[in-house]
Structures are given as structure tokens and as C-alpha cells.
A and B are shown apart, each in its own frame.
Chain A
């Protein structure tokens, strides 16, 4: 079945360092969404990408959707302690319409 792989699983960074998480799908996606889950909380929507090659920015966060609409990335510039949490990508299958979540990348930021 369709899979969405996300790497790395964990990342520890020093405050001020950059961070990137990558998402790869086995099938073409109609869109991809990114969510952030703080420890003890629930996933909160960050952004949705729909177009091939799309790049969107939210302050220090940069999101990309691959040309083939099979991969995506989230890059955080100059991490802060408030960035701590687990970042999930979620791809919507072009075929089935199902929203499949990646395993998530848990980010720890050392002050």
C-alpha cells in the first residue's frame, strides 16, 4: 500500500542551528500537509502544498513540494526552543484520497 516515509526520526540541535526533515511518498500525491505536535499535545496544521515545485515560507520555516509531487521538505532556520516538537508530513494520495502521515521527526533544541 501507499507509504509516506519521513526522515530523520529524531534530531537534536543546538539553538540557532538549522533543521530539515524530509518526506518521501511511494506514490504521487495530490497535496501534502505539514503538522506540528508539541509534547503532550495534538497535531496542529502548519501548511499545505498543492503545486509541483511549490515553495512556501512561514517566518523561519520553509516548505517545499517536489517537482514529481512525491517528496517534500521542511526547513527551519536558526532553531529556537519553541520549535521543539514532532513534525509530521501527511500526503493525500492522488488515487485513493487517503491522507497518509509520515512517522514524524521529533526535534529537540538545546538552549
Chain B
């Protein structure tokens, strides 16, 4: 079974731009969660989607948004990029999400200049 895939793997943007990151979960998984990982803040929960609905949301500004498609693939969007948005963005999938383990993708490393 293929693992979680994320595209692109690396991205360089400038302040003020927007970015869209994509995540394809493991086949059969319906829950997709997104995390931001930085050296200073660790793993910060962004949001969780299940069956195309946002089920949980972390404490991030409205510039961070996401969505999930009917095939469970998910995208997250960050508008008006700031230098502090430079981070590794990780996507994780699970079958149902509530009590199960999460399988992480390799991440998208975003650098904002």
C-alpha cells in the first residue's frame, strides 16, 4: 500500500504570496490532518478533515485554510505569506481519525523569503 504523499516537497516563496500544498492519504483513509513543524514550536496542529468536512481546527490565523475532496485528497492554502510561515508542513492520514494512529507524509518544506 502506498504511503501518504505530499507535493511539492520543497517550495520557496516570497512574503505576500500565497501557496497551496497537496496531500494524498493512504488508500482507504478518510481522515487527513495538517501540522506545521518548526524548530522553536514543535508540531502544531492546523486542522483535521474527515469526509470533506473540517472536524477540528488549531489556533492559526485565517490565512491558513484547507479543504478535502471526495477522494480524500486534501489541500492546504496559506495566503499573504509571512517570514514566520517558513516551516515543514506535514500531512497525516488515518482511517477514521479519532482513536487511530496517524501516518505521516514526508512533508513540504516551505521557505518564505
Report which A residues bind B (CB closer than 8 A).
Answer: 1, 30-31, 33, 35, 41-45, 48, 50, 88, 90, 92, 96-104
A48 touches B101 (CB 8 A): yes
Q: How far is the CB of B43 from chain A (nearest CB, A)?
A: 4
Contact: B43 with A88, CB < 8 Å? yes
Contact A43 B90 (CB under 8 A): yes
Q: Which of B12-20, B67-75, B79-87, B102-110 contacts A (4 or more CB under 8 A)?
A: B102-110
User: In this complex, what residue of A is CB-closest to B92?
Assistant: A43
A90–B37 CA distance with the chains assembled, in angstroms: 14
Selected from B35, B56, B102, the residue in CB contact (under 8 A) with A96 is B56
Cα-based distance from A97 to B35 in the complex (angstroms): 15
Contact among B43, B103, B107 with A104 in the assembled complex (CB-CB below 8 Å):
B43
Q: State the CA gap A83–B103 with chains docked (Å).
A: 20
Task: Report the tally of A-B residue pairs with Cβ distances under 8 A.
Answer: 52
Interface size on B, residues (CB 8 A): 23
A98–B99 Cα gap in the complex (Å)?
Answer: 10
Could you list which residues of chain B lie within 8 angstroms of chain A, going by C-beta atoms?
33, 35, 42-45, 48, 55-56, 58-59, 90, 92, 98-107
Is the CB–CB distance between B35 and A101 below 8 Å? Answer: yes
When chains A and B are docked, how far (Å) is the Cα of A90 from the Cα of B90? 15
B107, A97: Cβ atoms under 8 Å?
A: no
Distance between Cα atoms of A55 and B104 in the complex (Å): 25
Complex: chain B residue closest to A103, CB-CB? B42
> Do A1 and B101 touch across chains, with their CB atoms under 8 A apart?
no
Closest chain A CB from B9 CB (angstroms): 11
Cross-interface CB contact of B33 among A1, A99, A102, cutoff 8 Å? A99
Q: How far is the CA of A35 from the CA of B106 in the complex (A)?
A: 14
